[in-house]
Amino acid sequence: MPIAQAREIAPARRLENVRYAIRDLACIADEVARQGHKILPLNIGDPLNFDFQTPAHMIEAVYKAMRDGKNGYSSSSGIPPALDAIRGEAARKGITNIQDIFVTSGVSETVDICLTALLNPGDNLLTPCPDYPLYSAVLAKIEIGLNTYYLNEEDGWQPDLDDIKRKITPRTRGIVLINPNNPTGSVCTRKMLEQIAELARQHNLIIFADEIYDKLIMDDDPHVAMASVAPDVPVITFGGLSKNYLAPGWRIGWGIASGEASVIKPYLEGVNKLLRSRLCANHPEQYAIKPALEGPQDHLLEVKRKLRGRRDLTMKWCADTSRVSCVAPRGAFYAYPSIEIPEGDDVFVTELIRQKHVMVVHGSGFGQRPGTKHFRIVFLPDEKTLTSAYAAIADFMRERYA
Ligand SMILES: Cc1ncc(COP(=O)(O)O)c(C=O)c1O
């Protein structure tokens, strides 16, 4: 007779601190959907859920790669034409002193590998607050405590430089800068980048510059790459196809390592060890990188035109709605309004899903200054859909807080 296993299989204790508010809300949404309601998902930054399409020439390139038999493993760093194209793109952005380039399964994997390769027990890494929760999830997984620095709402969500200075300890190894920012949509000034680079020089830090939204700047000002203002400083610039090139499901991201060779090379050996141990990124999809970066960029005009209109509509709603105020986002496709309500923003968000079937993400899921409350809106849907979502949120607030 087979022996029944008596004890439950418990997950590792270190996972207790792994949170991913954006997708964790899905359980509540599932419950509401089971009751027969259609959920409007303003919670996940996937343009393909709305009226955006992956450029056709990229799809053709992947299809051709599959037909041509590029279905085995690739080299661990990525295929040469993709690496050349990323190098060319880095040069166009003024990034010099490049020491390595590698392709990964989305920026998610770049983050996982780069953080894991850097941090020893007791070390810390400065991450923004609010932050894109992948960073804190990876840090929890590798058992590194959080050391967050605030973004300053009063200063258009620029990093709070004084807070960064206060938080640097002898065990701080690096700093994460998300620019354009998720969840605030802010874009760093050149001066801010220079000041952060100077701190990195003084304290021997590596900078992880997450620039996955760098082509989605809604106004005319160009995006300045962190690595371009500090060629001497160790920087890993993160980019990918998910956002700028509307292909999040392909899971293609990359890292561009720059800085003084003698300083960054030992760390890159660690990164490459991990790259080899996970074999490679999706192979056929890598064939879209060169056509994406070097081919027609027309889709970006259309995407930015739509985003500008949707951002402006969002800002008008924020201005017209009591209890709500918002710093205008300049990049990416997120708005991060502040709300004045007599309960937690997590309760606000779960009740909004239950009662109006609109899904946004609570500020406490990204981290925020004590006493403040926010929610993140993904303003990717068309204007008609956004208008009805905003009307539903306004009704909800009137009914609940009048
Ligand atoms: C700031 C930021 N970094 C990284 C990612 C993950 O991107 P990928 O799809 O390339 O894994 C996201 C996804 O939303 C993001 O917002």
Strands 338-339 vs 324-325: parallel, antiparallel or unpaired: antiparallel
Q: 17-61: per-residue pLDDT in tens?
A: 777 666 668 888 888 989 999 988 888 889 999 999 999 999 999
pTM score, whole prediction: 0.95
Question: Measuring CA to CA, which residue among 331, 332, 330, 365 is closest to residue 346?
Answer: 365
Predicted confidence at residue 20, as pLDDT, reads 65
- Residues 6 or more apart whose CB falls under 8 angstroms from that of 288 comprise 58, 59, 61, 62, 241, 245, 247, 250, 252
pLDDT over threshold 80, residue 69:
yes
Lookup: tokens for 348: 């606000």
CATH of region 13-52+298-401, choose from 1.10.3720.10, 3.40.50.280, 3.30.2320.80, 3.90.1150.10: 3.90.1150.10
Q: What are the sequence ranges of the domains in the chain? A: 13-52+298-401, 56-294
How many Cα neighbours within 13 Å face the side chain of 400? 20
Q: At what angle do helices 106-118 and 261-277 cross, to 10 degrees?
A: 120
Task: Find all residues with CB under 8 Å of 12, minimum gap 6, and list them.
Answer: none
CA distances from 196 to 169, 175, 200, 260, 300 (A): 15, 9, 6, 17, 29
Atom from ligand 1 closest to the CA of residue 45:
14
Considering the domain 56-294, what is its CATH architecture? 3-Layer(aba) Sandwich (3.40)
pLDDT at site 342: 95
How far, in Å, is the centroid of ligand 1 from the Cα of 321? 30
- Evaluate if residue 2 carries a pLDDT over 70: no
* Res 382 pLDDT > 90: yes
- Any residues with Cβ below 6 Å from ligand 1, and which? 45, 106-108, 132, 134, 178, 182, 210, 212, 240, 242, 248, 253
- The per-residue pLDDT for range 244-258, each reduced to its tens digit, is 999 999 999 999 999
Q: What is the mean pLDDT of residues 117-145?
A: 95
CA distances from 136 to 78, 145, 186, 207, 315 (A): 27, 9, 20, 16, 29
Same fold, 13-52+298-401 and 56-294: no
Residues 6+ apart with CB under 8 A from 33: 39
